[in-house]
Amino acid sequence: MPAPGGASGHLDRFVRDRLPLPSQMPDFDYSAPHLHGWPDRLNAAAELVDRACSLGFADKTATIWEGTVWSFAHLKDRSERIARVLVEDWGLAPGNRVLLRGTNSPMLLAAWLGVVRAGGIAVTTMPLLRAKELGFILERVNIRHALCEASLAEEMILAAEKAGEPTKVGLFHPVGTGDGDFERAMEAKPSGGKVADTSADDPALIVFTSGTTGHPKAAVHYHRDVIAVAECWPRDFGIKPGDVHTGSPSMAFSYGFGAFIAFPLRHGCCSVMLPKAAPDAILNAITKHRVTSLFAVPTSYNAMMDEAKKYDLSSLRFCASAGEHLRDHTFRNWNEATGHRLVNGIGSTEMLNHFIAQPLGVDRPGATGRLLPGYSARIIDQDGNLAPSGEKGWLAVKGPVGCRYFDDPERQKIYVKQGWNVTGDIFEQDADGWFWYIDRGDDMIVSSGYNISAQEVEQILIEHARIKECAVVGAPDDERGQIVKAFVVLKDGVAPSEDLARDIQEFVKNAVAPYKYPRLVRFLDELPKTATGKIQRYLLKEME
């Protein structure tokens, strides 16, 4: 079945003109009944919050933050005012990109809706990113507008000042209570205003994810993709009006995007957003707000384990786990501590959210799960051919969403083969149709749900004044799944020491997001290499 589309509503075609060629696109499948009947003209923001208000949720609670409660109507009002400031005062044209930087908050949600309502392309970023990383994103997709939480302004402003062209930055507070220029401009605007006339296949958001090349890659998603993921995953988990969501993932993650934007707004749910998703904060929120749907990475569940018995978690209906592989001991221990099962699953930035998950009520520890409605998958070999039944291979997926890398035809060829989206994960499928995770198929390090490029960390390390050579791998860790481990060869005359190891760690922390720093530093006299000089990473991994 063809996807909805129509003539683009974007005046700025910078992103559209740099999408993969039609021959490089994956196949899109809209044959599932719940994916039928969408119009060619579609604006994802209006489809989420305006639709919710029209269906009777206007006075219902949309989000809670630190005791502040916003209804769906108030969220709609805030997003309309933000859109008007962007268009009327900032001159935003449909197709312009807007960088969003903030912790999970009502205003970050309103900003996302406002950008998309205005026809802009929302580019969400992790709050831990530093100026160098933000600067790369600004230049990569030619961003000249940014909305940033005031408490995170320093690195954002530094990145904007260093950008090749001027970048206008508007600052906001988590619930819009500041008196800065941007929030004053919002208050001066009336609510309402025109919703941008966008096509269902106009880009609505760009999500950056770390790659193995050392630079983040940009995945582009359409307005229809947002609605598609809001219709698929929730069907298996019975998400319904009145449900209450909370958890650990940032809205800059595709996982957090589903948990706090797409799913609750589409289905009339409430999101309890946490300024800091610490274990006690999550557990307290579950008890206080009678949370039904918990979204977290395995690391968060491990961190909550010891304290969980002190809280009333009886309101929980399901506890979703994603972002990294769910280990058996985490599954068992959480169940013993709380009486609730963890629901495993896998998604990706390129697919925007889950495509495989364990069904509710089915107890199969260790399995990633079964296909969600609207998706198909297969195990393929290195050449893209179907692997023999029962054999391990690369996981390949099709569905209503898919991989579209911005201006990166070579990477597109790697991750789209014969119409299938290749995730980069090694899986096997059993005779009952269950998928079982084996390992990552590349040099990506997945630590506490963060995707970390080994080469990106290496590029920082090699700038240290005392390092001659280095290599980074993922080391197994019970708490985080993996941690970053650096193997370092020092320059002549430099002696290894614990003080130097700590100095190297701080050097990385000061250059990039702190979660990327090497938690282990091992000094070697030389790195193992092939005859042609390539580092033999597998030998470094075997040292574990």
Each residue's pLDDT tens digit, 406-454: 999 999 999 999 999 999 888 999 988 999 988 777 777 889 888 788 8
Strand arrangement of the beta sheet that strand 270-273 belongs to:
68-71, 61-65, 270-273, 244-247, 293-296, 318-321, 342-343
pLDDT for res 213: 45
Could you tell me the sign of the dihedral formed by the alpha carbons of 445, 451, 457, 459, in that order? positive
Mean pLDDT of the chain: 92
3-state class (DSSP) for residue 113: helix
The HSE-up count of residue 532 (CA atoms within 13 Å, CB side) is: 1
Each residue's pLDDT tens digit, 393-417: 999 999 999 999 999 999 999 999 9
What are the start-end ranges of the E strands in 115-243?
Answer: 121-125, 145-149, 168-172, 203-209, 217-222
3-state class (DSSP) for residue 439: strand
pLDDT for 532 beyond 60: no
Each residue's pLDDT tens digit, 22-61: 999 999 999 998 888 889 999 999 999 999 999 999 999 9
What span, in angstroms and rounded, lies between the C-alpha atoms of 72 and 266? 11
Model confidence band, residue 533 (pLDDT cutoffs 50, 70, 90): low
The CATH number for 104's domain is 3.40.50.980
Residue 404 lies in a domain: no
Helices (H) and strands (E) in the chain, counts: 17, 26
* Tokens, residue 329: 């001991």
Helices of type H across 488-533: 498-511
| Chain-centre distance for alpha carbon 474 | 20
pLDDT for res 290: 98
Percent of the chain predicted with pLDDT > 70: 97
pLDDT for 2 beyond 60: no
Residue 103 lies in a domain: yes
Each residue's pLDDT tens digit, 204-253: 999 998 544 457 899 999 999 999 999 998 888 889 999 999 999 999 99
Residue 402 vs residues 223, 303, 375: alpha-carbon distances, Å: 13, 33, 11
Residue 143 vs residues 51, 195, 216: alpha-carbon distances, Å: 29, 22, 15
* Structural domain of 520: 444-542
User: C-alpha angle with apex 300: 296 to 303, nearest 5 degrees?
Assistant: 155
Count structural domains, the chain.
2
Domain stops at, among 171, 197, 223 = 197
Identify whether the C-beta of residue 344 lies closer than 8 Å to the C-beta of residue 357. yes
Each residue's pLDDT tens digit, 467-515: 999 999 999 998 899 999 999 999 999 999 999 999 999 999 999 999 9
User: Is residue 480 classed exposed, middle or buried when 0-12, 13-18 and 19+ CB atoms within 10 A define those classes?
Assistant: buried
DSSP 276-328: S--HHHHHHHHHHHT--EEEE-HHHHHHHTTTGGGS--TT-SEEEE-SS---H
Could you tell me the sign of the dihedral formed by the alpha carbons of 491, 493, 496, 499, in that order? negative
Each residue's pLDDT tens digit, 279-337: 999 999 999 999 999 999 988 998 899 899 999 999 999 999 998 888 888 898 999 99
- DSSP at 250: -
- DSSP at 94: T
Identify whether the C-beta of residue 238 lies closer than 8 Å to the C-beta of residue 361. no
Domain stops at, among 174, 197, 220 = 197
The HSE-up count of residue 173 (CA atoms within 13 Å, CB side) is: 11
pLDDT for res 361: 79
Could you tell me the sign of the dihedral formed by the alpha carbons of 313, 315, 319, 320, in that order? negative
End-to-end CA distance of the chain: 49
The CATH number for 481's domain is 3.30.300.30
Residue 295 lies in a domain: no
Nearest Cα neighbor of 266 from 49, 478, 517 is 49
Nearest Cα neighbor of 470 from 480, 482, 459 is 459
User: C-alpha angle with apex 256: 255 to 259, nearest 5 degrees?
Assistant: 95
Residue 498 lies in a domain: yes
pLDDT for res 211: 46
Residue 289 lies in a domain: no
Residue 250 lies in a domain: no
What span, in angstroms and rounded, lies between the C-alpha atoms of 281 and 273? 10
Each residue's pLDDT tens digit, 139-166: 999 999 999 999 999 999 999 999 888 8
pLDDT for 531 beyond 60: no
Query: How confident is the model over 113-126, as a mean pLDDT?
Result: 97
Helices of type H across 436-525: 454-461, 498-511
Domain stops at, among 197, 232, 261 = 197
Residue 101 lies in a domain: yes
